[in-house]
Structure 1
Amino acid sequence: MDDNLEQPNAEAKPLLGNEAEEEDQSSGDDDEGPDWTKLMPASSRPIIPKRGDKEFEPLKQGGSGLQQHILLRSRNAMFEALRATRTISNKTVSYGTWHPTLARVSVAVPRGTSMNNVGHTVPREMVMPDGTMKTQKRLELLPEEGVYLIERGSLMCWKEYTIEYPNDGTFESVTGIPMTVQQAYTEMIGTEDLTMDRYQVYAYLKRLGYSVTRSKPPNAFYPVAGLYPPSMSALSSSYILQRIFSTFSSWISGIFSPLFSRAFDWWRPLRINRWLRSEKNHSFMFRSLRFIPSGHKVPIHSHTETTSPYEPFFNLYKPPTPFKKSAPPPPDYQMVVVNARTTPMPSLSELTAIYDNAPELPLPLPRVRNPSQIQGVSYKKNAAGANIPLESRTTKETITPSMTIGAANGLMPSWFSSRTSAPSKQNERRVNPFAVLRQGTKTAIVATVDAGTINIFRFAQGAFETGPWY
Structure 2
Amino acid sequence: MADADEDVIPRSGPLLEDVDLSEEIQDFRFLGTATGNDVKIPKRGEKDFEPHETALHPLFVRMGRTLSKGEDPIGDDGLRGQRMWFLPEEIIYLVERGTIDLRWPATGDDEDGRGLPMSLQAAYAMFLGEQQGLGGALTFERYSVYSGLKRAGYTVLRAASFEGSGPPATANCYPPLPQRTWQAGLLSLAWLKYIFHNSEKEGHERLDYGLGIAPGLYRSYADIYRRLALIPWYDPTNTQITAASQSSPTDGEIRVTYHVWKPGSATFKKSDHGPPDFRIAVVDARETTAPSLQQLGNLMATLPYEPPKVEDQLYQKLKHGYKNVILAIVDQGVVSYLRISDAAFGRERLYERAGRGFGGKRGGRGGRGRGRGR
TM-score, normalised relative to structure 2: 0.54
Establish whether residue 445 from structure 1 lines up as the match of residue 359 from structure 2: no
Partner residue of 1:175 out of 90, 114, 117: 114
- The equivalent position to 1:149 in structure 2, one of 84, 88, 94, is 94
The answer to whether residue 162 in structure 2 is matched with residue 230 in structure 1 is no
Q: Structure 1 residue 351: deviation in Å?
A: 0.9
* CA distance in structure 2 between the aligned counterparts of 1:90 and 1:465, rounded to whole angstroms: 51
The 1:188–1:231 alpha-carbon spacing in structure 2 relative to 1, beyond 3 Å, is closer
Question: How far did residue 455 of structure 1 move?
Answer: 0.4
Rounded Cα–Cα distance in structure 2 between residues aligned with 1:333 and 1:147: 23
The CA distance in 1 between the partners of 2:197 and 2:86, in whole Å, is: 56
Q: Does 1:346 align with 2:285?
A: no
1:184 to 1:366, Cα distance in 2 relative to 1, 3 A = same
- Write the distance in 1 (CA, Å) between the matches of 2:116 and 2:189: 79
Distance 1:292 1:366, change over 3 A: closer
Partner of 1:330: 275
Q: Which residue of 2 aligns with 1:280?
A: 194
**Equivalents in 2 of 1:90, 1:293: separation in Å?**
54
**Aligned residue for 2:130?**
191
Is the 1:364–1:435 Cα contact (8 Å) retained in structure 2?
no
Aligned CA distance change for structure 1 residues 207 and 164 (closer, same or farther; 3 Å)? same
Cα distance in 2 for partners of 1:217, 1:344 equals 20
- Any idea what SS the aligned residue of 1:363 has? coil
2:307 aligned partner? 362
Q: Deviations over 1:139-191 (max 9, x none)?
A: 21101011111101222222222x224xxxxx644132222212111211111
User: Which has the higher Rg, Structure 1 or Structure 2?
Assistant: 1
Correspondence 1:307-326 to 2 at 5 A: 307-322=251-266, 323-326=268-271
The gaps in structure 1 that reach 5 residues or longer are 1-87, 96-107, 112-120, 166-170, 252-273, 368-430
The structure where strand makes up a greater share of residues is: 1
How much does 1:291 deviate?
11
Asked whether the equivalents of residues 124 and 137 of structure 1 are also in contact (C-alpha less than 8 Å), the reply is no
Partner of 1:164: 108
| 3-state SS of paired residue (1:139) | coil
What runs of 5+ residues in structure 2 fail to find an aligned partner?
1-47, 61-68, 132-136, 204-229, 352-374
RMSD of aligned residue pairs (Cα, Å):
4.8
Q: Greater relative contact order (Cα 8 A, min sep 6): structure 1 or 2? A: 2
SS in 2 for 1:310: coil
**Structure 2 counterpart of 1:200, from 144, 150, 153:** 144
Inter-CA distance 123–325: structure 2 relative to 1 (3 Å threshold): farther
**How far 1:330 moved relative to its partner?**
2.1
- Name the structure 1 match of 2:72: 124
Return the offset for 1:355: 1.1
One-letter amino acid matched to 1:451 = Q
1:205: Cα distance to partner? 0.6
Once residues 93 and 177 of structure 1 are traced to their aligned partners in structure 2, the CA distance between those partners, rounded to angstroms, is 28
Distance (whole Å) between structure 1 residues aligned to residue 173 and residue 198 of structure 2: 24
Contact 2:251 2:295 in 1 (8 A): no
SS in 2 for 1:330: coil
- Residue 456 (structure 1) aligns with: 337
Q: Letter of the 2:138 partner, please give it.
A: L
Residues 321 and 282 of structure 1: CA distance in aligned 2, closer, same or farther (over 3 Å): farther
1:333 shift after superposition: 1.8
* Counterpart Cα distance in 2 of 1:196 and 1:122: 36
SS in 2 for 1:198: helix
Secondary structure class of the residue paired with 2:274 = coil
Name the amino acid aligned to 1:143.
P
Give the TM-score of the pair, scaled to structure 1: 0.44
Query: What secondary structure, in the 3-state scheme, does the structure 1 residue paired with 2:102 have?
Result: strand
Mapped contact 2:162–2:256 kept (Cα < 8 A): no
The whole-number CA distance in structure 2 between the counterparts of 1:206 and 1:328 is: 17
Change (3 A) 1:275 1:196: closer
Residue 240 of structure 1 pairs with residue 179 of structure 2? yes
Structure 1 residues 284 and 228: CA distance shift in structure 2, 3 A: farther
C-alpha change, 1:276 and 1:129, in structure 2 (3 Å) is closer
Cα shift at 1:285: 4.0
Task: State the distance in 2 between where 1:164 and 1:147 align.
Answer: 27
Contact 1:339 1:449 in 2 (8 A): yes
Contact preservation (8 Å) 1:94, 1:156: no
Deviations 1:324-371 (A, max 9, x none): 33432222221111111221111112111221122333334547xxxx
Counterpart Cα distance in 2 of 1:344 and 1:172: 53
> CA–CA distance in 2 between the matches of 1:122 and 1:339?
41
| Alignment check: 8 A CA contact 2:173 2:302 kept | no
Contact 1:316 1:331 (C-alpha < 8 Å) held by counterparts: yes
State the Cα distance separating 1:196 from its structure 2 match: 0.8
The within-5 A match list for 1:392-403 is none
